[in-house]
Chain A
Amino acid sequence: MLEGAEFYFNVDHGYLEGLVRGCKASLLTQQDYINLVQCETLEDVKIHLQTTDYGNFLANETNPLTVSKIDMEMRKKLCREFEYFRNHSLEPLSTFFTYMTCSYMIDNVILLMNGALQKKSVKEILAKCHPLGRFTEMEAVNIAETPSDLFNAVLVETPLAPFFQDCMSENTLDELNIELLRNKLYKSYLEAFYKFCKNHGDVTAEIMCPILEFEADRRAFIITLNSFGTELSKDDRETLYPTCGKLYPEGLRLLAQAEDFDQMRRVAEHYGVYKPLFEAVGDGSGGKTLEDVFYEHEVQMNVLAFNRQFHYGVFYAYTKLKEQEMRNIVWIAECISQRHRTKINSYIPI
């Protein structure tokens, strides 16, 4: 790609960029969160959301209102917006959108396979799937018994196909293998997305690469954290780390050797970006979890993405911010419906 997006960016993508910036303005403000936290019932939440850009999206829901209904409607709204963007996009932005949906598709595939393993009906699990990652072949996932089966039969024509090259194996799909499959898929997905952004160059690369690097490193940390006390060997663990982050290669090697949280923290201390994050993590009681800290950092990066113009990062950032907002609303709504008000304030402000 040529440099100097400002010269030609608007020809193809100007409309959508304007649109997404307008959508970004509709994110809930701090004042909205303060009001939401004060709500007594879910009905109050609904009334308050009506005054925001959500409008009367819950108007047609019959009583009683539940958190899952709110969540579903919010997802539908995001999905409508995303579909609109996607339908109006031109290359290479549409490829970018496809990359964005891939992560949801991976999650959905894994969810369905887990469901099949636990002998749940497909319909039940389909309802839980993220609408952004929906595709027709998805429901046939449970035919497959091995990863290569899965690839050959079901996913060979989906955008997920290229990510399968590392994980073709004849192992039966038990719980551990599914988890491994997810991480391997994610690793190759992230690497491919990173490569795509890097090749695209220009502002898109400048914005998206740090975000994806962070995403990769976050996965590496989370994988490490989750593998403590499991039968996963250290070598296997290392193969799961996405290699496009800032931790690559030394940090990942150190992480692979880590045996507990403190060792992980020591690895992170070598990196200026992650040191403050690990310092912000509270110990055990109270304080923030590592996950929350990561989310906060992600939100910050996404908000900053809007400071530059003429790049695709805004679409990614908007979707992620909207998701965070949905998580926040769901959190608050859960707290309200379960009368568990002490933790209601630990949403992640945008």
Chain B
Amino acid sequence: MGSLFRSETMCLAQLFLQSGTAYECLSALGEKGLVQFRDLNQNVSSFQRKFVGEVKRCEELERILAYLVQEINRADIPLPEGETSPPAPPLKQVLEMQEQLQKLEVELREVTKNKEKLRKNLLELIEYTHMLRVTKTFVKRNVEFEPTYEEFPPLENDSLLDYSCMQRLGAKLGFVSGLINQGKVEAFEKMLWRVCKGYTIVTYAELDEPLEDPETGEVIKWYVFLISFWGEQIGHKVKKICDCYHCHVYPYPNTAEERKEIQEGLNTRIQDLYTVLHKTEDYLRQVLCKAAESVYSHVIQVKKMKAIYHMLNMCSFDVTNKCLIAEVWCPEANLHDLRRALEDGSRESGATIPSFMNTIPTKETPPTLIRTNKFTEGFQNIVDAYGVGSYREVNPAVFTIVTFPFLFAVMFGDFGHGFVMFLFALLLVLNENHPRLKQSQEIMRMFFNGRYILLLMGLFSVYTGLIYNDCFSKSVNLFGSGWNVSAMYSSSHGPAERRRTVLWNDSVVRRSRVLQLDPSVPGVFQGPYPLGIDPIWNLATNRLTFLNSFKMKMSVILGIIHMTFGVILGIFNHLHFRKKFNIYLVSVPELLFMLCIFGYLIFMIVYKWLVYSAETSRVAPSILIEFINMFLFPASETNGLYAGQEHVQRLLLAVTALSVPVLFLGKPLFLLWLHNGRSCFGVSRSGYTLIRKDSEEEVSLLGSQDIEEGNNQMEDGCREMTCEEFNFGEILMTQVIHSIEYCLGCISNTASYLRLWALSLAHAQLSDVLWTMLVRVGLRVDTTYGVLLLLPVIALFAVLTIFILLIMEGLSAFLHAIRLHWVEFQNKFYVGAGTKFVPFSFRLLSSKFSDDVA
């Protein structure tokens, strides 16, 4: 609790790292993750820093490793991920590692290059065989007609006419054949036609099996084509066009024998290539397997090394160039660990002079560190999403742990739904070490990270569900209702009673559709139900009216308590920052303003609940009217809640009215007085006023130690420079804006808490609708097959309950609960203008392969 209530005290420390041991020291620090480094070379561009060369070397190594991982993944070799993360490599090993990796890369590149070449070769050969096989059909036709070229060609075959005519003219008939990408066929043909003006004949056939494209590695469909052309010049053009469309052109055998010969040659070569390729692949696999063993630790090591050099780049060099000076933020509690880490680092590297540190006073605002565990983390995240707390400010996360699930549950009150949610969260919590959950994707991950929030939300919903007596929109009669219907019958009462009140008899019961129970009749109301709402209300037609009144009042009461608590937390802040005047001039008037109006409202609500019973309920005044009358002073007297009500109300109103000007003007005038007082009293009291001044300015954030040193002349000099110019107008302006916001906020925020009522109403009504529309319809069928009908009805009910009531409604209640915390609660005291403490820690480096491949 102590550490969660305020962020930890930080101090600025200077590390003097001997240049020989700096690397080891930082490695030790990075393992522990103790400190946040400050960039001392902010105006030095990234390539002019000291350790650029080393960073470059790390990048080179990363490039090689990325290549290795890519190759290993492509070969489908599993990458073992080590459990422990190896420490950053000692400097001596780095060179060795680099050499080793570079050698490996060169070897790998060569082997893969060879492999690719072989594959390409093989592909070409396969393509060639395919081409030969397919074009055989074209050729057969050709051969058939060959003997006929002396005769007159049959006129009906146009393509034949071309062949034979050309051959008869003695011109040289040429062939170009090859494979072409399926998508390019059409354009290819068109261009051939246009360029060669029809002096070519193109024959196509689709290849039945898709082949790999040697350039891109994609598997695509190919077409085999055969172009017959006439003349040398056209041949050149055809070849150029083939080049243009990236056709794979292969020599076309002229005779059948030649074809056979080529085919046989090809087959043997393909066989040979297959064996060679297999050998190469085996070898490659061996190399990769060996590399895969160490690649994980190498990746981690290089990442750590790079991180260390990045940090070293933030350090500045000493004048003598012998040691590096780093400035770090460190939590005071960890200073001891820091010292030890530095000693360890120095010892490891065997340095003669150890690295050391000292703390330096500073006026800068340190970063905010709030240590969390897996339980508080989620709640802290809710607060941090609004804004990281200022240094040493009260941290609302502590209270959020309780108030957040509670406010959620008020809106989500149904113990059936709450229990389901609780079970789901429990499942997550019990299995939180399961690796699949830890690496789950977005939405599931969201649930997983908020599992403890969900757990508490479910638990609180069970509680509020019991109070509302709602279980899937039905009430549960656990203890027996406190109402007795039979007591309303006239027969059970004496004649005196019968005369005084309206009682039921048979004719009344038969005639009227709606009957009213009267609690003032003895025996009808036997005392309140032990826990929550009486289940008899589930049957009542005026249930909604009753619940609305109850929930509305409850929301207002909860809201005002919540906000008042926020203002009180503000007092803790002022106390801590030594701004006592803020308590008297801001917090107390704020409290008075809130309590005198809305606190009184709560008082009236509770008073009316306690004082008026069923018998006197007819004379009970309306709180709304009373509350309005408090401000309007009506001429006509009303019979109030209690004697002397008017005077009390006048007094409260006067206090409210008085607190407003104090709120508006108190702080600015006080500051002005302080400012003038200091200049009036002059030199003799400067020491005293200085301390006072400190307490009002942000400087006091430094903590007590600096205040004690207030007499130190040099310190004074520094501090005075940082003191902001006193600007009365600005302070007045800020305070006025703040006050207006607060005063209006009291009203609007109270109204805003009515969302508790509205959402809880919506939730109850929605679950009621779901029940009446589905389950009741299912239950109404009372024949035998009704059982069969009930099954899908219940299934649908379950699905809709989960998706609409649990997820959708749950999300909306969640959002509203967040809003109530961020806006209504936190704006009463929380500044949230801090920066988060981000330690230099190796644990924050990702240890996944996927990240460095991408």
A interface residue numbers (CB < 8 A to B): 35, 38-39, 43-44, 47-48, 50-51, 59-60, 63, 122, 136-140, 142-143, 152-154, 156-157
User: Does B321 count as interface, using CB distance less than 8 angstroms?
Assistant: no
Q: Which residue of A lies closest to B188 (CB)?
A: A136
CB < 8 Å neighbour of A35 from B45, B55, B243: B45
Chain A residues contacting B60 (CB-CB under 8 Å) are 63
* Contact B56 A47, beta carbon cutoff 8 Å: yes
User: Does B59 count as interface, using CB distance less than 8 angstroms?
Assistant: yes
Given contacts A43-B56, A48-B46, A60-B63, contact A139 B243 (CB under 8 A): yes
User: Does B48 count as interface, using CB distance less than 8 angstroms?
Assistant: yes
Chain B residues contacting A43 (CB-CB under 8 Å) are 47, 56
CB distance from B245 to the nearest CB of A (A): 7
CA of A156 to CA of B193, assembled, Å: 13
Return the CB mask of B177-196 against A: 1 if under 8 Å, else 0. Answer: 00000001001001100110
Known: A50-B46, A154-B195. 11 other contacts (CB 8 A): A43-B47, A43-B56, A47-B46, A137-B191, A137-B244, A138-B244, A139-B243, A140-B195, A140-B241, A140-B244, A153-B195
Q: Which residue of A lies closest to B239 (CB)?
A: A143
* Contact A143 B52, beta carbon cutoff 8 Å: no
User: Does B445 count as interface, using CB distance less than 8 angstroms?
Assistant: no
CB < 8 Å neighbour of A38 from B48, B52, B56, B241: B48
The SS class assigned to the B binding surface is helix
User: Does B237 count as interface, using CB distance less than 8 angstroms?
Assistant: yes
Return the CB mask of B109-149 against A: 1 if under 8 Å, else 0. Answer: 00000000000000000000000000000000000000000
Q: Which residue of A lies closest to B238 (CB)?
A: A143
Return the CB mask of B227-246 against A: 1 if under 8 Å, else 0. Answer: 00000000001001101110
* Contact A39 B241, beta carbon cutoff 8 Å: no
Chain A residues contacting B52 (CB-CB under 8 Å) are 44, 47
CA of A143 to CA of B47, assembled, Å: 50
CA of A152 to CA of B197, assembled, Å: 11
* Contact B47 A136, beta carbon cutoff 8 Å: no
Chain A residues contacting B46 (CB-CB under 8 Å) are 47-48, 50-51
25 A-B interface contacts by CB (under 8 A): A38-B48, A47-B46, A47-B47, A47-B55, A51-B46, A59-B63, A122-B243, A136-B187, A136-B244, A136-B245, A137-B187, A137-B191, A137-B244, A138-B244, A140-B191, A140-B195, A140-B243, A140-B244, A143-B237, A143-B240, A143-B241, A153-B191, A153-B194, A157-B187, A157-B190
Count class of interface residues, chain B: 20 to 34
Chain A residues contacting B195 (CB-CB under 8 Å) are 140, 143, 153-154
* Contact B59 A154, beta carbon cutoff 8 Å: no
Chain B residues contacting A35 (CB-CB under 8 Å) are 45, 47
Return the CB mask of B26-48 against A: 1 if under 8 Å, else 0. Answer: 00000000000000000001111
Chain B residues contacting A137 (CB-CB under 8 Å) are 187, 191, 244
CB distance from A125 to the nearest CB of B (A): 13
**Of residues 53 to 89 in B, which have CB atoms within 8 Å of A's CB atoms?**
55-56, 59-60, 63
* Contact A154 B63, beta carbon cutoff 8 Å: no
Chain A residues contacting B56 (CB-CB under 8 Å) are 43, 47
Return the CB mask of B187-227 against A: 1 if under 8 Å, else 0. Answer: 10011001100000000000000000000000000000000
Return the CB mask of B474-503 against A: 1 if under 8 Å, else 0. Answer: 000000000000000000000000000000
CA of A19 to CA of B195, assembled, Å: 43
Chain B residues contacting A153 (CB-CB under 8 Å) are 191, 194-195
B interface residue numbers (CB < 8 A to A): 45-48, 52, 55-56, 59-60, 63, 184, 187, 190-191, 194-195, 237, 240-241, 243-245
Q: Which residue of B lies closest to A31 (CB)?
A: B45
* Contact B194 A140, beta carbon cutoff 8 Å: no
CA of A329 to CA of B56, assembled, Å: 21
CA of A60 to CA of B190, assembled, Å: 40
CA of A130 to CA of B238, assembled, Å: 26
Q: Which residue of A lies closest to B60 (CB)?
A: A63
Chain B residues contacting A48 (CB-CB under 8 Å) are 45-47
Chain B residues contacting A38 (CB-CB under 8 Å) are 45, 48
CB distance from B607 to the nearest CB of A (A): 59
CA of A47 to CA of B57, assembled, Å: 12
Which has the most chain A C-beta neighbours within 10 Å: B47, B184, B187, B190? B47
CB distance from A181 to the nearest CB of B (A): 19
* Contact A139 B244, beta carbon cutoff 8 Å: yes
Chain B residues contacting A142 (CB-CB under 8 Å) are 240
CA of A44 to CA of B56, assembled, Å: 10
CB distance from B624 to the nearest CB of A (A): 49
CB distance from B172 to the nearest CB of A (A): 20
Chain A residues contacting B194 (CB-CB under 8 Å) are 152-153, 156
* Contact A39 B191, beta carbon cutoff 8 Å: no
Q: Which residue of A lies closest to B194 (CB)?
A: A153
Chain A residues contacting B237 (CB-CB under 8 Å) are 143
Chain A residues contacting B240 (CB-CB under 8 Å) are 140, 142-143
CA of A240 to CA of B633, assembled, Å: 93
CA of A35 to CA of B59, assembled, Å: 21
CA of A242 to CA of B244, assembled, Å: 32
CA of A35 to CA of B48, assembled, Å: 10
Q: Which residue of B lies closest to A152 (CB)?
A: B194
CB distance from B635 to the nearest CB of A (A): 59
Q: Which residue of B lies closest to A139 (CB)?
A: B244
CA of A78 to CA of B46, assembled, Å: 25
Which has the most chain B C-beta neighbours within 10 Å: A138, A139, A152? A139
